[in-house]
Amino acid sequence: MKQVFRRVIDRRGRVVVLELPVPHLGADQILVQNHFSMISSGTETGTVSRTPIELAKQTLSDPWMRHLVKQTVFSAGISKTAQRVWYEMVAPREIGYSGAGTVLAVGGNVEGFRVGQPVAYAASGHGEVVAPSVNHIVPVPDHVDLKQASFVTLGGIATQALRRAEIQFGETIVVYGLGLVGQVCARIARAAGCRVIGVDVHPQANEVALDGGAELALDARDPDWKRRVLEHTGKHGADATIICAASDSSEIINSAMEVTRRQGRVVVVGYVKLDIHPKNFLYNEIDLRYSRAYGPGSYDTSYEKGRVDYPFGYVRWTENRNLAEFIELIATGAVSLEALIGDVYPIDRVQDAFDDIRAGKLAGRAALIAYDDAPDERRTIHRHGRPKREGKVGIGLIGCGNHFLSELLPPLRKMKNVDIRSIVSATGRTASIVAPKLDAATITTDVDEALADADTDAVMISSTHAEHHEHITKSIAAGKSIFVEKPMVTTLEDFRDVARLMDASPVLFTLGLNRRYSPAITKLRASIEGPIDAVEYVIAQQYIPPEHWSIDPVDGGGRLVGEAEHFIDLCNVLIGRAPRSVDARILGAPPEDVRTLANFAITLHYDGGVANIVFSESGAPGFPRERITAFGRGQIAILDDFDTLTVHAKRVKKPKTSSGRSMGHAEEVEAFVKALAGEPNNMLTWDDAALATTCMFGAVESIRTGQVVEIDEFARTLRAPDDGDL
């Protein structure tokens, strides 16, 4: 199928149409054959023409992005950071978020939709086939024109803005900014019985607003436009002003305050500078509000992915209900968008659409993309039919996100005895980028297709955390050797399932706990004569915001589940034996859901040894992100960030690690490939992986119960008959 993408940086604002497999259909998704999608003249044209300087300014203005770049440099080094930045600059990015078509297939958890049904969708791109979540898709009555239905996302944004303004029948509403969102907003307000005044700098946009029912449309460049608003409202001012414009000037927000009545409302939809003069804001008691996206549910990952809905009686207008209500307005004839359709472009001429928008040929009107009636619905694209080369190991890749691209892809590219058979990704986009670099035979969105290849000896799984269980179990059933990134799984029940499958049908299995392979760890262990009796492992991370994916209960599983296997395994390696018990505690106030835990301490008890792990978001500049202190007999070795080793014995030594801050990623990939080829190797085995994962879930259980968990006893429960929750 065909899909439109942009590059992060392109001074000429070019887009590209790629041939991709049809997207993967998740349990909470619906597969839609697109008929029309709408180009947002503001959002999308702004993103396709950013320069390097503009991108740098945007990054530096965001504290979280500054922190991310800094931490990437510290953890990966300048070279790898530069590689990642270059990839982000040139890699194609999905654009588009509003369209309409017909249902091709529904996910297993979806109800209320049927194949062939007309629908409108939000939050998915310009592609012949898209896979929105169930909360981003609404039915469209048969008599509704799908061209108008393709405005559904703008309709949701406008509807939510008017709800935030709490408009009432008979009120006067100023819509400042008559781009597409403003035009739709004006029409909905008119349909709700309000008097509408439009304001814009483009005469064409003002004319479109007047045709759509606005009583007045004013040029924002006219010095008298604010006076005319006041005159039109009997010198009271508008009951509410909706700002649908974007500007770095503070003129817009202050002008909006000046034309709004006392105790009126100003709602910001676009991005405007909030340098507010208190004269009107304070003295007139104006309420300033933001309208975020298209309703409650926006930026809530569980809602956006269709995993939950909000009860009707408590949240009357969610994202989905706003979208549905907008389609109802079109269906009843209360709102017509026919005049807003500027031109329709076939997907092969999509660049013309963006060029016409930038040239100002469609001011106040939309460009739509039209799609073929019979798209290519293949989920697999074969790049070449070559069988696996003699003397090589065939590997399939499932998932290829940022971690894979930065840490696992480089060593794979250097290995001469590896034949990449397939690359699986949910949308096929990343797979299409990586495939030429690895000369992969196939790109696909179908895991089963990849596993059916007889020339595939093994899979490397680096999909999202929540998908690991499905991909592991399918790979075991197919008899493939497995490399899976941590965490192995995100729930105890999934771990029980994997353990039982490995007992019944064992395959070569390793877990991506790379720290044990780091040359710095080898140097540390060699620096201490005799056994290591105790380890203190302090991980001092920077604070991450609550919306970060790693502490999402489903997608990330929390930082204990998502990362603790790393630290537990390394302690096991350094002490050289299996722990007998685990005792874990929350640091600070306990979260509502332990899966969102970000501060914790774990104590592992060994026969004659102990390891203390402290994971905290108290990281500070200049202090190592990870500090490992190993205690021998009369010897102490301290390793900071896998780079600086200090050994205290009869005298203090600082042996060179010669690791280049290597975290062991290349070495773990090399060990896996050697194991596949039957060569001598130091690969982490299934037993090692199962031990680290058992200890991690033992730590979760210890936090839940407040008790010390005996590892052997806890491990036995994993293989016990399933008679309910543990």
Tokens 């835990």 — which residue?
Answer: 597
Distance of CA 482 to the CA centre of its chain: 25
Q: What 3-state class would DSSP assign to 399? A: coil
Amino acid at 320: N
Q: Which pair of tokens denotes residue 675? A: 């194991």
User: Average pLDDT in the 515-539 region?
Assistant: 95
Is pLDDT above 80 for 429? yes
The reported pLDDT for the residue numbered 657 is 58
Closest by CA to 13, choosing from 355, 335, 267, is 355
Instruction: Select from 207, 208, 226, 269 the least CA-distant residue to 244.
Output: 269
The class of domain 154-290 in CATH terms is alpha beta
Given phi > 0 = left and psi -120 to 50 = alpha, else beta, which region is 96? left
Residue with tokens 């003129």: 251
The closest of 536, 530, 472 to 689, measured between CA atoms, is 472
What region does 13 belong to: left with phi over 0, alpha with psi -120 to 50, or beta?
left
2-48+95-150+311-370: which CATH architecture?
Alpha-Beta Complex (3.90)
The proportion of the chain whose per-residue pLDDT surpasses 90, expressed as a percent, equals 74
Question: Which two tokens mark 561?
Answer: 């589940």
pLDDT value, residue 86: 55
The encoded tokens of residue 9 equal 């940086």
In the predicted structure, residue 60 carries a pLDDT above the cut 80: no
* Torsion 175-178-182-185 (CA) sign: positive
Tell me the one-letter amino acid at 174. Answer: V
**Helical (H) or strand (E) element with 243:** strand 238-243
Summarize pLDDT for 444-462 with one digit per residue, the tens.
999 999 999 999 999 999 9
pLDDT interval class at 692 (50, 70, 90): very high
In this prediction, residue 12 carries a pLDDT of 64
**Greater pLDDT, 576 or 50:** 576
Question: What pLDDT, on the 0 to 100 scale, is given for residue 721?
Answer: 65
Q: Identify any residues that bridge with 603 across adjacent strands, giving them in sequence order.
A: 583, 612
Task: Say yes or no to pLDDT of 589 above 50.
Answer: yes
| Residues above pLDDT 70, as percent of the chain | 90
**Please, are residues 212 and 278 in contact by the beta-carbon 8 Å criterion?**
no
Convert the pLDDT of each residue in 75-106 to its tens digit.
Answer: 555 555 665 555 555 567 889 999 999 999 99
The kind and range of the H/E element at 390 are: none
Please give the residue that has the higher pLDDT: either 652 or 660.
652
Check pLDDT > 50 for residue 189.
yes
Q: What is the mean pLDDT of the chain?
A: 90
Q: What is the pLDDT of residue 288?
A: 96
Instruction: Output the pTM of the full model.
Output: 0.88
Please check whether the two domains, 154-290 and 380-513, share a CATH topology: yes
Q: How many CB atoms lie within 10 A of CB 494?
A: 18
- Residue whose entry in the numeric block shows the structure tokens 């992060």: 8
Mean pLDDT, residues 500-508 taken together: 96
Residue keyed to tokens 């606005």: 214
Cβ atoms of 174 and 255 closer than 8 Å: no
- Quote the DSSP letter at residue 408: I
Question: Cα 206 to the chain's mean position, in Å?
Answer: 38
Confidence (pLDDT) at 14: 83
Task: Give me 309's structure tokens.
Answer: 């809905």
Indicate if the pLDDT at residue 724 is higher than 50: no
Topology of the domain comprising 380-513: Rossmann fold (3.40.50)
> Is the pLDDT higher at 434 or at 456?
456
CA 254 from chain centre, in angstroms, equals: 36
Q: What pLDDT does residue 47 have?
A: 52
Strands 118-122, 216-219: pairing kind: unpaired
Contact between 397 and 459 (Cβ < 8 Å): yes
633, burial (CB in 10 Å: exposed 0-12, middle 13-18, buried 19+)? exposed
pLDDT surpassing 80 at residue 384: yes
Residue 78, Cβ neighbours under 10 Å: how many? Answer: 9
**Tokens representing 368?**
């739509």
Residue 137, pLDDT score: 98
Arithmetic mean of pLDDT, 125-136: 97
The one-letter amino acid at 260: T
Nearest to 134 by CA among 308, 352, 300, 338: 308
Q: Please give the average per-residue pLDDT across 698-722, as a whole number.
A: 90
Nearest to 647 by CA among 515, 529, 567: 529
Domain ranges of the chain: 2-48+95-150+311-370, 154-290, 380-513, 515-664+684-718
Confidence of residue 725 (pLDDT cuts 50, 70, 90): very low
List, in order, residues 6 or more apart from 90 with CB less than 8 Å away: 7, 8, 9
Give the torsion through C-alpha atoms of 250, 251, 252, 258, to 10 deg: 120
Which residues lie closer than 8 Å to 659 by C-beta, 6 or more apart? 518, 519, 520, 523, 642, 643
- Residue 652: other Cβ atoms inside 10 A: 9
Token look-up 């975020």 returns: 292
Question: Is residue 421 very low, low, confident or very high in pLDDT (cuts 50, 70, 90)?
Answer: very high
* Range with the poorest average pLDDT among 6-10, 153-157, 259-263: 6-10
The answer to whether 636 and 647 are in contact (CB under 8 A) is yes
How many CA atoms, within 13 angstroms, populate the side-chain half-sphere of residue 502? 21
Overall average pLDDT of the 530-543 stretch = 94
Pairwise CA distance, residues 290 & 444, whole Å: 41
Banded pLDDT at 358 (limits 50, 70, 90): confident
Residue 8, burial from CB neighbour count under 10 angstroms (0-12, 13-18, 19+):
middle
CB 523 within 8 A of CB 664: no
- The order of strands in the sheet holding 636-640 is 652-653, 644-648, 636-640, 626-631, 534-540, 609-616, 600-606, 581-586, 709-710
pLDDT reported for residue 68: 53
Higher pLDDT, 621 or 583: 583
Number of C-beta neighbours around residue 542 at 10 A? 16
Residue 623 has pLDDT above 50, yes or no: yes
Degrees (nearest 5) of the Cα angle 426, 429, 435?
A: 105
Angle at 611 between CA 607 and CA 617, to 5 degrees: 160
DSSP secondary structure string, 123-189?
S--SBSEE--BGGGEEE--TTS-HHHHTTHHHHHHHHHHHHHHT--TT-EEEEE--SHHHHHHHHHH
Q: Considering the domain 515-664+684-718 in this protein, what is its CATH number?
A: 3.30.360.10
How far is residue 392's CA from residue 462's CA, in Å, rounded to a whole number?
22
Among 573, 472, 463, 584, residue whose Cα is nearest residue 515: 573
- In one letter, which amino acid is 634? G
